[in-house]
Amino acid sequence: MTYYRQMGAVPMKRHTTFRKEDGSLYREQVMGTKGFSGNQSILYHHYPPTDVSHAEVHSKVEHVYETQGALRHRHLLTSECKETGDAVAGRQYMLGNEDLMIAIANPTEAMDYFYRNSDGDELLFVHYGTGKVETMFGTLHYQPGDYIMIPIGTIYRVLPDVGESKMLVIETTSWITTPKRYRNGQGQLLEHSPFCERDFHGPSTLDTHAELGEFEVRTKSRGHIHKHIFNHHPLDVVGWDGYLYPWIFNIADFEPITGRLHMPPPIHQTFEGNNFVVCSFVPRMYDYHPNAIPAPYFHSNVDSDEVLYYVRGNFMSRKGVKEGSITLHPSGIPHGPHPGKIEDSIGKKETLELAVMIDTFRPLHVVEKARTYEDGNYMYSWIVKPN
């Protein structure tokens, strides 16, 4: 969800001469989606974005999924994943399908290269840690709770500050935007939306680099990571305008929708993509009917898989989950509150839980390596023990 924005210097009219002080031309790049019928921006570079001196395949993108076993609920304790690295190469993949990959990252190192995902948009959720993301559109500074949306084809690198940090990563093969039902025909967010345009923040500064030299840009496309050596700094943009750019939305700016009786999961929806949605569970008042049961009812995901990433707080319908836990409740079998949680919720006035939910409309597969962090007894945690 973006609106028109301009940063830096741009000419009065598009596709016209725009000269440097020495009389040479800045290089115009139109970056558009959906065959140039979707959102687009126009960027002005010091150098041609095609000025590449070397190209090679860096690595193959391979995700080895587990062999299909019994259909069951899953619980991955990602707090036990201690592997670190940078925000891209250090990603540890947990779940995936044809539409998206879900990973976690513990970035402790600055990226010494640049990166672009040319398969789809990316969404980085900052569990904890601070830092900045340098992009061709400018620099974004992040903090805990930030969703960082990076559009397809955007060159960027993540530079974390000193200290521990953790991110939930969603790599898509499509796009990410706000739910259509919250926008009018012109794209403006409506009054009943749980957020507004003021809550979305684009780059804070446009930091232009005109240095020449060798700069590595890794590009994800066609099942591989490709290595391109630019003859100039890839963040050489002096100005841009349009509707396509990276932005940040903090989960604390999601205003929860409440009701007299338990509200269904779509009220938590924050973003959508092709065959998936992303929801935010935030601190909120509980249902206020005098006989309300705040805990969710048992329900069957008959056409979607449900993933929850637990950020903090006491998630009122679950036992045994921890910060950084990922649960997967697959389509085909029902799930719901753990024993005793329905009774415990009655009379409660509020919840302080914080979690990110991803519902996919095609089945998810568990990455083989992710089983290292699995709580194998989770499927049986609904067994009611005799008094």
Q: Are 336 and 36 in contact (CB under 8 A)?
A: no
Q: Is 94 helix (H, G, I), strand (E, B) or coil?
A: strand
Q: Tell me, what's the pLDDT at 173? A: 97
Q: How confident is the model at residue 320 (pLDDT cuts 50, 70, 90)?
A: confident
CA distance 184 to 135: 30
How many Cβ atoms are within 10 Å of 185's Cβ, its own excluded?
5
Residue-averaged pLDDT of the chain:
95
C-alpha to C-alpha distance for 152 and 274, rounded to whole angstroms: 14
Task: Name residue, tokens 């060159």.
Answer: 155
- The region of weakest confidence among 100-104, 340-344, 354-358 is 340-344
Dihedral (CA of 17, 18, 22, 27) sign? negative
Q: Maximum Cα–Cα distance for the chain, whole Å?
A: 85
Domain 252-380 has CATH 1.10.10.60: no
Residues whose CB is less than 8 angstroms from the CB of residue 254 and which lie 6 or more positions away in sequence, other chains included: 194, 195, 270, 280, 282
Task: Assess whether pLDDT exceeds 70 at residue 1.
Answer: no
Domain ranges of the chain: 252-380
Residue environment code for 347-366, b if the CB has 16+ CB neighbours within 10 A, otherwise e: eeeebebbbbbbbbebebbb
Specify which residues 148 forms β-bridges with: 124, 248
In tens, the pLDDT along 108-145 reads: 999 999 999 999 999 999 999 999 999 999 999 999 99
pLDDT tier at 387, thresholds 50, 70, 90? low
**Model confidence pLDDT, tens digit, residues 9-60:** 999 999 999 999 999 999 999 999 999 899 999 999 999 999 999 999 999 9
Mean pLDDT value across residues 333-354? 92
Overall average pLDDT of the 318-346 stretch:
92
Cα 373 to Cα 193: distance, rounded to the nearest angstrom: 37
Token pair in block for residue 328: 């997967």
Using CA atoms in the order 34, 272, 246, 242, what is the torsion angle rounded to 10 degrees? Answer: 40
